[in-house]
Amino acid sequence: MKKMNKGMNLALSAIVLAQGLKILTHKATSGKWDWRPLLQTGGMPSSHSAGVSALATYTALKTGKDSIETSLAVVFGVIVMYDAQGIRRHTGEIARLVNDLDEDFELLSGHYPDLFHPRRDVELNELLGHQPAEVGGGALLGIALGFFGYFSKK
């Protein structure tokens, strides 16, 4: 069986490690153990940022800063991290506003008993993106793993 390349292993390891760390950061901030962050988007650290940073760091060290591989990894990483703290975070904020519409409608319709609005059974997921610190935390984790992977023997 052919082995996966080291850059891919490091990126996937960074993602798994970051997802695992979300359990610990949730415990530190809420005081409660909860395994759900292991499989959720959002939270500290960003697993997307960790993965692309590990890949970009390892690739830069392995092929040099001027290689096309490094350029691709860095540009891909910047796009992913921008999306995580920009577009995906704003999508989560919009989901929060939409989820609040049911309560707002009920408050407003109290004056008009003939108005009816069926309540949604399931709310939209609000934890989609990341705060800048979460993206930075994931990036630092990924950079550290990229260096570790490059300088380790295997």
The pLDDT value recorded for residue 116 is 64
Who has greater pLDDT, 53 or 44?
53
| 101 part of a folded domain | no
Domains: count for the chain: 1
| 123 part of a folded domain | no
Side-chain-facing half-sphere of 27: CA atoms under 13 Å: 9
- pLDDT single digits (tens) 27-37: 888 888 888 77
| 24 part of a folded domain | yes
Contact (CB, 8 A) for 99 and 124: yes
Contact (CB, 8 A) for 127 and 42: yes
The pLDDT value recorded for residue 94 is 78
Parent domain of 138: 6-86+129-151
Which segments of 2-154 does DSSP mark as H helices, in order?
A: 6-30, 47-63, 68-85, 87-109, 132-151
| 98 part of a folded domain | no
Residue 23 CA to residue 40 CA, distance in Å, equals: 10
Question: What's the pTM?
Answer: 0.76
CB count, 10 Å around CB of 69?
15
| 109 part of a folded domain | no
| 124 part of a folded domain | no
| 91 part of a folded domain | no
